[in-house]
Amino acid sequence: MIKEVEAKTILRKHKKIDSWFISQYGFNLYRGCMHNCLYCDGRSEKYNVNGEFGNDVTVKINAVEVLRRELDPKRKRTPLKKCFIMCGGGIGDSYQPVEKKYQLSRKTLQLLYEYGFPVSILTKSTLVKRDADIIKKINEQSRAIVSFSFSSVDDEISRVFEPGVPMPSERLEAIRFFKKEGIACGMFLLPVLPFITDWPEAIEDSIREAKNADVDFVIFGGMTLKDGRQKNYFLERLRENYPNLLTEYRHIYRGDKWGNPVREYYDSIHKTFNLAAKKYKMPKRIPPSLYKNIIGENDLVIVILEHLDYLLKLEGKPSPYGYAAYSISKLTTPISSLKDGLREIKGVGKTTEHIIIEILNTGSSSYYEKLLVG
């Protein structure tokens, strides 16, 4: 069932720049998702999505007018920051079937183009190809990144777990299509399904296919299963399709409040991913070449330090960079004005200071660039 509602606000602002998407703002045009992936965490009570998930969708019918108001610089005391605006989210794919009728994603992209914002889209649907004309215009003006999420590149497994979306082979074809149009593309290999698509061979297949499709980066993640609706629904479907895996799932999902699997499992899949990504020299985060002239200097430093933090943890090494990034996110002055006093920032030692200076001078860090693909 489709329910039309009038939204009061559309744009969601993060407290600091999100280094996964290089974005500080995002929006959901739909609540609920007809794609009905069995593992979707939009089903969890935490997100208060009303109705029967997979069937019922709420459409923010006035999204375009509200967003126009929110983007209009004349109505703002402080202008919005320059960064990617994220189109898509975990509780409703922006290109799910209702988009064919309402065209809210298309209209909001048109608006983002008018206001000159770069855009990052994350979807599982090839319907996004319909909007290639606007996405190309945005890309020429500021930049667009189109990413697709995958739990694997296996069409048969996808048919079971992602019943409402185009097959992985079609998503890969869509990536090739956008790449030919000169648009940067990412693969979100997320979530891999425990004991089904998390094997070294399966993860390597995904990265190899991503490489063959010329994607610019692969971002990896495991599956969360929050107690309640999401976990119950998923385990029921698992019982129907892979009953022999129930015990293993119960073993690794033991009621963590965020639905995370146990640490040993999490570490082992990340290790597997890291090895495969290195083999194909695949960037494991959005590379700076795609955003360094777009975001402000403090955000650039925060993003690269957070990426470094992630990459070192993938290697099983300690990292001071996450804390330094957090401290920098609290600064109210441009970091370049503190060049002689960087060490006074909490968490910034000698090495971090050198890295920050290199980022300010060149837009990146050679140490980081090596870790990104190696």
Positions that interact with ligand SF4 (CB under 6 A): 33, 35-37, 40, 42, 90, 92-93, 124, 165
Tell me the HSE value of 210 on the side-chain side, using a 13 A CA sphere.
Answer: 32
**263-279 and 200-212 helices, crossing angle to 10°:** 40
Smallest Cα–Cα separation from 33: which of 100, 99, 93, 95? 93
Query: Closest distance between ligand SF4 and the C-beta of residue 7, in Å?
Result: 18
Query: Closest distance between ligand SF4 and the C-beta of residue 153, in Å?
Result: 16
Query: Closest distance between ligand SF4 and the C-beta of residue 346, in Å?
Result: 37
The SS3 assignment for 84 reads strand
CA angle (224 as vertex; 105, 45 as ends), nearest 5: 70
Instruction: Select 37 or 144, whichever has its Cβ closest to ligand SF4.
Output: 37
Alpha carbon separation from 226 to 42, 76, 233, 258 (Å, rounded): 10, 38, 11, 6
Instruction: Select 40 or 348, whichever has its Cβ closest to ligand SF4.
Output: 40
d(CA 302, CA 345): 13
Query: Closest distance between ligand SF4 and the C-beta of residue 54, in Å?
Result: 7
Instruction: Select 38 or 301, whichever has its Cβ closest to ligand SF4.
Output: 38
Query: Phi first, then psi: what are they for 357, rounded to 5°?
Result: -65, -40
Query: Closest distance between ligand SF4 and the C-beta of residue 327, in Å?
Result: 34
**CB neighbours of residue 362 within 10 Å:** 11
**CB neighbours of residue 323 within 10 Å:** 15
Query: Closest distance between ligand SF4 and the C-beta of residue 91, in Å?
Result: 6
Instruction: Select 123 or 365, whichever has its Cβ closest to ligand SF4.
Output: 123
CB 92 within 8 A of CB 28: yes
Instruction: Select 122 or 311, whichever has its Cβ closest to ligand SF4.
Output: 122
Amino acid letter at 235?
Answer: L
Instruction: Select 38 or 328, whichever has its Cβ closest to ligand SF4.
Output: 38
